Structure 1
Amino acid sequence: MELKHFAAAAFFTFFAAGTVTAQTTKPGQTAKPAATTQTGKLPVAEHYPGGQEAMVAEMQRNIQYPAMAKRNRVMGTCIIHFTLKEDGSIKNAKILKEVGGGTGQEALRVVQLLKFNAPGYSQEYSVPVNFKL
């Protein structure tokens, strides 16, 4: 019997939360996605000399647009996941998302060129690399 009460309470809570969020938006407005409310700062950038702006500038400076991607006008964002080791080196880098035309391999190469300060601990991070013609 307790399971039925628990299920009913969970069901009620789910729909009650949905009505609260539905009432917070005015008619004719759409709710903003959670990504637009974030600060947009990369956590790994605190370990890069010069911060996020310097890290993004270094990546953009080193990108060599792949010929196949340029020919097919491929644009978008690739995401590279890696482990930042205690000494600031990058290990286990892999492509999580690529947009095609060799952009994933180029993004992987560019991220592996980055030199980070030693954070003193090992942590996993993901970094977006933008390709735009």
Structure 2
Amino acid sequence: MKNSFFIITLLLITTFSSAQKIKKVSVKDESGLKETYSVLKSDPSVRHGEYKKATNYLLVKGQYSHGERSGVWEYYSPKSKLVQQYDFTSDTLLYNYNGLEYAMDSTQYTRSIVILGGLYPVLKQVGRSIRYPAEAKKNRTEGKVNVKFVVDAKGNVKQMEVVEGIGDGCDEEVMKAFQGVEFECIPALDLKGSPVESEFVLPISFKLD
């Protein structure tokens, strides 16, 4: 009986001591983008608990466990429409709205590169930064600048370059705009289901009124 009491007491003490004390953090930038999350009181650099990103509408919600994303994360469009569900614990794409998984050759990949949150936030950031070059306006230059991105097996964008441009400063303007753009990718999977380095091309249009 004494041994049972000792074991139960030890389990309660272990559970209590392992419980993590956390505090909530809220950060808002000039554009109105707000992030709310929790961090460990013992180490404020480590996120632990619920995470949300929003403006006037919810953009992202999920959970952190000791600094790592865990469980199912959800990504929303500006109209609060669910566009993606990704399980970071099992590394599984659960739901993906049409057009948000970059189309790739199914004979080489079992899953294409996935841009978390979709293309809309990426293009919105580029649109804020890009300016129509004076030379292009003067020459009435229009068309698409195709930018290639190389995504490694960990989802890092390791290289980008213009593979087909239209000149008159448009190619350089696109590259400059992308320098300040932040987005995350989930890598493609090969035929064995393993993460693999791959690439995709994103067209940016220039059109005069």
The answer to whether TM tops 0.5 is yes
Where structure 2 has 5 or more consecutive residues not aligned to the other structure, the ranges are 1-97, 103-111, 188-194
C-alpha RMSD of the superposition: 2.7
In the other structure, the counterpart of 2:148 is 81
User: Residue 47 of structure 1: which of 108, 111, 115 is its match?
Assistant: 115
What amino acid is the match of 1:132?
K
1:108 equivalent in alignment to 2:108: no
Aligned mates of 1:118, 1:52 — CA distance in 2? 11
Q: Identity over aligned residues, as a percent? A: 27
Shift of the 85–110 alpha-carbon distance from structure 1 to 2, 3 Å rule, reads farther
CA contact (8 A) 1:89 1:115 kept: no
CA contact (8 A) 2:145 2:170 kept: yes
In the other structure, the counterpart of 1:126 is 201
Say which structure is richer in strand: 2
User: Residue 91 of structure 1: which of 141, 155, 158 is its match?
Assistant: 158
Larger RCO, structure (CA 8 Å, separation 6 or more): 1
CA shift at 1:41, angstroms? 5.8
Aligned mates of 1:95, 1:88 — CA distance in 2? 20
Where structure 1 has 5 or more consecutive residues not aligned to the other structure, the ranges are 1-38
1:60-71 to structure 2, matched below 5 A, reads: 60-71=127-138
CA contact (8 A) 1:47 1:117 kept: yes
CA contact (8 A) 1:83 1:125 kept: yes
CA shift at 1:104, angstroms? 1.0
CA shift at 1:101, angstroms? 0.4
Shift of the 45–123 alpha-carbon distance from structure 1 to 2, 3 Å rule, reads closer
CA shift at 1:85, angstroms? 3.4
Shift of the 85–116 alpha-carbon distance from structure 1 to 2, 3 Å rule, reads farther
Shift of the 83–105 alpha-carbon distance from structure 1 to 2, 3 Å rule, reads same
- Determine which structure has more spread, i.e. the larger CA radius of gyration: 2
Describe the SS at the equivalent of 2:202.
strand
Task: Report how many aligned residue pairs link the two structures.
Answer: 94
CA contact (8 A) 2:130 2:177 kept: yes
CA shift at 1:59, angstroms? 1.6
CA contact (8 A) 2:155 2:186 kept: yes
